[in-house]
Copies of this chain bind each other. A is one copy, B any other.
């Protein structure tokens, strides 16, 4: 409400002096007596500098636009939230804030366009990936971001042009659940993915198939099922899968929530875990730890990925040029749902 002009008037100074002092308390361009008067006036009028005016003047907002191309409610899934936690922690250390401009458009491309459009003027962007967007959509999002001429970084989007600043959570070579199960003697492995067409699900599908075939095990598309990242849907689909394919000795699930749901199915079908069915999850979320038996999973270091992304972006804003790619590897968290076959 109160402006720098009012402070200046109350302190008997010009706005310039007030601004000078407020932005550098130890400036020599304002005398000690004047400093005290400014402090008093600020206290009296509850003055806070207006970020909008200040951004306009300095051309620096200290604000990062968070772009989440999700049709689902934000903050509704653990994966995104953990990523956000990481981003946020790094940003706050460097004094940056976050801008969310949600949209209620109906396609993920429109959502991103609107988000970018409305947050125009902030210092950079983080583009999240969600299981709900396809490769084509992602590419359009990137194009849109490039038009802004501001630095941005993409978070865990597979198959990305490497000229783009990005943080990638790699699980294939290093820590595929399928490979883990294979190494423990499993040959009939079901796959529980998120959403058909989603970038992540597609990647995991291909990985699963390739790894099986490399090992000389025929891949049966019928043993792949989509749980839509939801507990209900996963329950239904896994139940159907296990009934139709009783030969399966293990399930590789794309998320811990889906793994926990699979565990419930096993219990309801009277299959003991891990004796009759092994289950591996992904994410190392609380759901895996609190399940009983506790679920073996792969820790994707999601929070760290968020931090790295923010770090990369901040470097870019500070002037470092060129694309850069950070790859985060997962690690297995061995718990009680995987059995080694003889």
Q: Within 8 Å of chain B (Cβ to Cβ): is A318? A: no
Digit string of A137-157 for contact with B (CB within 8 Å is 1, else 0)? Answer: 000000000011100000000
Question: Does A324 reach chain B (CB closer than 8 Å)?
Answer: no
A285-303: CB near B (< 8 Å → 1, else 0) gives: 0110111100000000001
Pick from B93, B148, B257: contact of A290, CB below 8 A.
Answer: B257
| A104→B75 CA distance, assembly (Å) | 22
A97 partner, pick from B88, B101, B116, B303, beta carbons under 8 A? B101
Q: Quick one: which of A99-140 are within 8 Å of B by CB?
A: 99-104, 116-121
Is A163 at the interface (CB under 8 A from chain B)? no
Point out the residues of chain B lying under 8 angstroms from A51, CB to CB: 52, 118-121
CA distance in complex: A54, B120 (Å): 11
Complex contacts, A100 vs chain B, CB 8 Å: 88, 97-100
Q: Are A81 and B85 in contact (CB under 8 A)?
A: no
Q: Can you offer 30 A-B residue contacts whose CB atoms are under 8 A?
A: A1-B148, A48-B117, A48-B148, A51-B52, A51-B121, A52-B55, A52-B56, A52-B121, A73-B85, A73-B303, A74-B84, A74-B85, A75-B81, A75-B84, A75-B85, A88-B100, A88-B102, A91-B102, A92-B102, A97-B100, A97-B101, A97-B102, A98-B99, A98-B102, A99-B99, A100-B100, A257-B290, A264-B292, A287-B290, A291-B291
